[in-house]
Amino acid sequence: MKKILFSLLLILISGNAFADGDADAGKSKAALCAGCHGATGHNPSPNFPNLAGQKAQYIVKQLKAFKSASRVDPTMAPMAANLSEQDMADIAAYFASQSRTGEQSANTTANTAGTSTAVPVVAVAKFVADPVAGKALYEMGDESRSLGACIGCHGKDGHSEVLIYPNLAKQHHQYIEKQLHNFKAATRTNFVMNQFAKVLSDNEIKNIGAYLADTKAVANAKMKKIMIPTAMTESAITGKNKAAACASCHGADGNSLVTMYPKLAGQNAHYLIKQLKDFKDGSRKNAIMAGMAAALSEQDRIDIANYFAAQKTTKGNGKSNTLGKKLYFGGNVKRGIPACVACHGVNGKGMAKAGFPSLAGQSVEYLRNQLKLFHIGERANDKNGIMRGVTKKLKDKQADALAQFMSAL
């Protein structure tokens, strides 16, 4: 069974512009990695990641990043510098073929605690990590802070089903915490992870680490998602009067009855403010909205956005769709399409502070049209060209399925 799964993995990787890896050849090439990562990828030190059973495509991606210096590490840079693409593929194939459940040293902490190089992180911090709180963040995020759930990309209990996202299961929790701190400080760059980590407190990072250190220990823990309602602030109340002109297209409460127009109710204010600004300066093209936004001041945009953000969104007209669900949560590795969930969240509510919009409840027609506009480049106000890059690879059938599924969220 392992050989079959591994063969399928190699097929997927080769279909995504990665060289075919030879695990046997990779074993000898990976000898230099053993000092930090262990001979089979089971690292005894919490300072370095376990590579056993990790996604081969992810390993190759990281090796390339170290080689190009887009991911900075003084140890890994020279290690990766002389590796060819075939070397990377072989090493990745070898580590991917190893079992993630191999025995790890239970006395790692005890063996290192007395040395002069040990870093007494736990001893210094009086905070006691809560794995249940970590599980809640991992599985549900925190909508009040636009904090997305980790489970969408990294899978249940850290078992990722998407090749381009790493497995976190059986990983040292110290390493995970270190990487979250790196993303938070932006010393390691990934747009989505930087936005996610910068919202986390140091204690929350420890909570997530505690959960991933032993997910089985809290498998039956009951969690309750805390929903903080959006308040009608003074700005939102003022915005209600200013938004009167929007009612004919978007509805008085932001729930448009015309499917060609977007619902603004429940949309995050950060996103709405940006769109109004983009319509005004021409970054987003629309003849009607250009005229509507032209006379708005910065405060007008803030007030109108806050009003609509405080309203409740009605249900969309879409229907649950198997292909759409698969694309939304898992992407398409062969075509290089990332999962939508990473930016738009498990429930389609987006990530407000990162500027990613809520999609849940929008009409199928509006969503489909926006995917088309991004695809042909007519809409080009997406950050770093993310949406244009994604939609260029979407076939019509896939775009139709996504619009149906997202509307039904």
Residues 6 or more apart whose Cβ sits within 8 Å of residue 224: none
* 284 & 365 share domain: no
On whether residue 360 sits in a domain, the answer given is: yes
Round to whole Å and give the CA distance between 136 and 251. Answer: 36
12 has pLDDT over 50: no
Indicate the pLDDT class of residue 38, thresholds 50, 70 and 90.
confident
CATH number at residue 152: 1.10.760.10
Cα–Cα distances (Å) from 24 to 17, 61, 91, 380, in that order, read 21, 20, 9, 46
* 132 & 91 share domain: no
* 272 & 336 share domain: no
User: How distant is the alpha carbon of residue 128 from its chain centre?
Assistant: 27
On whether residue 188 sits in a domain, the answer given is: yes
* 213 & 178 share domain: yes
pLDDT at 191: 75
* pTM for the whole structure: 0.55
* 251 & 336 share domain: no
Q: Which domain holds residue 34?
A: 2-97
pLDDT at 144: 64
Round to whole Å and give the CA distance between 7 and 15. Answer: 12
On whether residue 348 sits in a domain, the answer given is: yes
pLDDT at 227: 44
Round to whole Å and give the CA distance between 200 and 206. Answer: 10
Domain boundary (309, 336, 367) is at: 309
On whether residue 32 sits in a domain, the answer given is: yes
| Residue of 387, 373, 375, 389 lying closest to 285 (CA atoms) | 373
On whether residue 189 sits in a domain, the answer given is: yes
pLDDT tens readout for residues 172-209: 999 999 999 999 999 998 877 888 898 899 999 999 99
pLDDT at 231: 63
- Residue length, the chain? 409
| Residue of 247, 240, 274, 281 lying closest to 350 (CA atoms) | 274
On whether residue 117 sits in a domain, the answer given is: no
* 90 & 7 share domain: yes
pLDDT tens readout for residues 270-303: 999 999 999 999 999 999 999 999 999 999 999 9
Place of tokens 């900075």: 72
Number of structural domains, the chain?
4
For residue 217, the tally of other CB atoms under 10 A from its CB is: 13
Indicate the pLDDT class of residue 19, thresholds 50, 70 and 90.
low
41 or 147, greater pLDDT: 41
* 304 & 353 share domain: no
Round to whole Å and give the CA distance between 296 and 300. Answer: 6
On whether residue 65 sits in a domain, the answer given is: yes
Residue 249: Cβ-neighbour burial (10 angstroms; 0-12, 13-18, 19+): middle
Residues 6 or more apart whose Cβ sits within 8 Å of residue 307: 235, 236, 237, 238, 239, 240, 242, 243, 254
The Cβ-side half-sphere exposure at 208, using a 13 Å CA radius, reads 26
pLDDT tens readout for residues 60-102: 999 999 999 999 888 888 888 889 999 999 999 999 999 887 5
Round to whole Å and give the CA distance between 42 and 34. Answer: 9
* 295 & 343 share domain: no
Least confident of 111-125, 148-162, 213-227, 386-400: 111-125
pLDDT at 42: 87
Place of tokens 């977007």: 262
- Range with top average pLDDT, 9-13, 213-217, 322-326: 322-326
SS3 41: coil
For residue 389 the two structure tokens come to 């890059």
* 167 & 82 share domain: no
* 335 & 362 share domain: yes
* 328 & 262 share domain: no
pLDDT tens readout for residues 200-226: 999 999 999 999 999 999 888 876 554
Contact 153, 237 (CB under 8 A): no
pLDDT at 123: 42
Domain boundary (194, 218, 242) is at: 218
Contact 262, 367 (CB under 8 A): no
Percent helix, strand, coil in the chain (nearest 5)? Answer: 55, 0, 45
On whether residue 252 sits in a domain, the answer given is: yes
Helices then strands (H, E): number in the chain?
23, 0
Contact 383, 330 (CB under 8 A): no
Domain boundary (276, 309, 342) is at: 309
